[in-house]
Amino acid sequence: MNRRVGVQPRLLAWGGWALLIAVFVSECFVYAWCRVQCVQLGYEINQVLDRGRQLLVFQNNLKIELERLKSPERIGTIAARQVGLAKPRPEQIVVIP
């Protein structure tokens, strides 16, 4: 009976250490997984921010193009060439009071 009593505390001690090591290893794996997820999310955030910057540049280019297309000089040129319109002569102008 003495032998069993002596062996059992040693087994419990080894089991306790094994459990402690298993918990430590699993915590290391969870920490590594969290770090990988953080890095991956950081890359995704940077990609989204880069896409947003690209879209802002594209929007600014579209605004510039719109202003160019709306310019009175361009519209006057198109009206004269394609539609055949001309500036009114002074006798064609009627001033409404």
Is residue 93 situated within a structural domain? Answer: no
**Tally of domains within the chain:** 1
Amino acid at 34: C
Tell which residue, 92, 88, 66, has the closest CA to residue 79: 88
CA distance 16 to 22: 10
Each residue of 57-73: b (16+ CB within 10 Å) or e?
Answer: eeeeeeeeeeeeeeeee
Q: What is the pLDDT along the chain (97 residues), one digit of tens a residue?
A: 445 555 566 666 788 888 889 999 999 999 999 999 999 999 999 999 999 999 999 999 999 999 999 999 999 999 999 999 988 898 999 999 8
Verdict on whether the full-model pTM lies above 0.75? no
Is residue 94 situated within a structural domain? Answer: no
- What's the number of CA atoms in the CB half-sphere (13 Å) around residue 2? 0
Structural domain span for residue 26? 2-85
Is residue 90 situated within a structural domain? Answer: no
